[in-house]
Structure 1
């Protein structure tokens, strides 16, 4: 089984060494590591990641986005960018991490993972240490790391959610979306003791509809799992979103005063207010060490 989460500071030797490095002589500031996930596809998760990232850059945050939607990685397409390389090229020793990372709107950086993440479990110890060292070079250039996970409950989704500091679940008002959002929280809680979730309700007609979705989901989670969920707001239905997608641009870049853009700025402010403390898992090296550890430890039934 994967190592269950406990109080900050607990964990294996590798985790302790990483924390020591972070809190010791380097004295690096913590970064925020947020996995953006959903129980089902089609809820606008990738669009949320793109516009949240852009909004954060407008608030003077240095943003790195990991496009980890395995098999359906399309963040670059959504933003009209060209991605020639991905994490697989780093694993093969063909490219450095700086050659793989691409620049997005507002100055945010994007690291395409593609199918490369599936190969992490096949790396030997030397390759893993090399990868961690190279990825760690991104730490000083990053304030917020956003992970655009795949939808559903596959092993890759679990890897990223368990390694992040925060899990932001994107849900729509559709009953199937609500049911699937509950399912992913249930698995993460019952199997891996993950008990911190944030909820964003996307594509709603009103604030009242969003609150109704949140109330329903949090009520069920509290009743059957004794689990509380933090409400991180909503994104309203907005015709400008479709227009931006067709033009392959971030909504905020084209229509900064649209209703949805204002909600994305509210979400970005919420992220900034939720600053990690010193004891949090606030380094890119620790995040990736957890990915590598979870690759080996997750049970087959998650696959």
Structure 2
């Protein structure tokens, strides 16, 4: 059977606390609402929380796939807008490259029913983050207007570029306080990267700080579902529209087999 081209998007950040998981979940759901067939992989293999964030009751996790206790189809939870959610096990041991590759290889079970795979990576620059970001077709870096977030986002981009040859990144400014803050953050990051790196840094947009998003989090719901007219939900939908406009891969590099090969 011919491989189904899939858009693989790694959502990552240089540090924790910038809202990366909320970006991953709301982007995945908003894309599904636009008609894409979406899977959401919780790749934070130490602090897994996507199933909790969406109020899902997961009986199995990716750790069970690693251990051979079940197959991927048994792990998948159906989330809002019919997205396929693959939960991870929180507090697990360091995952090997072979296990990471095995998880991606397991996606062949559901690959024919997918258009987009959104990967919520861990924060920072550990090996699992690097592995997923290098293998993905698109890398989305979430950043906030605070010095540590900017510095760590730059460090992540620098590492991925200089050590692994990643040359294209998308920047999303999160929890912005004014309409000007997003473009300001992008220009700040652009200035840092242009100084010493040969990378393309694209501005994907900004998501404003929103109390309704925090209210949705407390209800274990995505804000695009719970408060679809809130300012953060509207922003997520605009960002999803831009991602929807990215062409689906039409080359072998868009297939999960290539993702597996790169991850290995």
TM-score (norm 2): 0.93
* Aligned equivalent of 1:135: 107
* Aligned equivalent of 2:129: 157
Once the two structures are TM-superposed, the CA of residue 207 in structure 1 deviates from its matched residue by: 2.3
Aligned partner of 1:47 among 8, 22, 43: 22
Structure 2 residue ranges without an equivalent (≥5): none
| Aligned partners of 2:167 and 2:198 also within 8 Å | no
Once the two structures are TM-superposed, the CA of residue 29 in structure 1 deviates from its matched residue by: 4.0
- Between the aligned partners of 1:122 and 1:152, the Cα distance in structure 2 is 20
Taking the TM superposition and a 5 Å limit, the aligned residue runs for 1:224-303 are 224-279=196-251, 281-291=253-263, 293=264
Aligned partner of 1:201 among 173, 194, 207: 173
- Between the aligned partners of 1:94 and 1:120, the Cα distance in structure 2 is 19
Taking the TM superposition and a 5 Å limit, the aligned residue runs for 1:17-36 are 26-36=1-11
- Between the aligned partners of 1:201 and 1:46, the Cα distance in structure 2 is 14
Q: Secondary structure at the match of 1:281?
A: helix
* Aligned equivalent of 1:102: 77
Once the two structures are TM-superposed, the CA of residue 122 in structure 1 deviates from its matched residue by: 6.6
- Between the aligned partners of 2:10 and 2:93, the Cα distance in structure 1 is 18
Structure 1 residue ranges without an equivalent (≥5): 1-25, 294-303
* Aligned equivalent of 1:172: 144
Once the two structures are TM-superposed, the CA of residue 286 in structure 1 deviates from its matched residue by: 2.6
Change in 2 beyond 3 A, CA 1:192/1:120 = closer
* Aligned equivalent of 2:61: 86
TM-score (norm 1): 0.82
- Between the aligned partners of 1:101 and 1:253, the Cα distance in structure 2 is 20
- Greater radius of gyration (CA): 1
Change in 2 beyond 3 A, CA 1:280/1:214 = farther
Matched, 1:188 2:160: yes
Change in 2 beyond 3 A, CA 1:29/1:93 = closer
- Between the aligned partners of 2:99 and 2:15, the Cα distance in structure 1 is 28
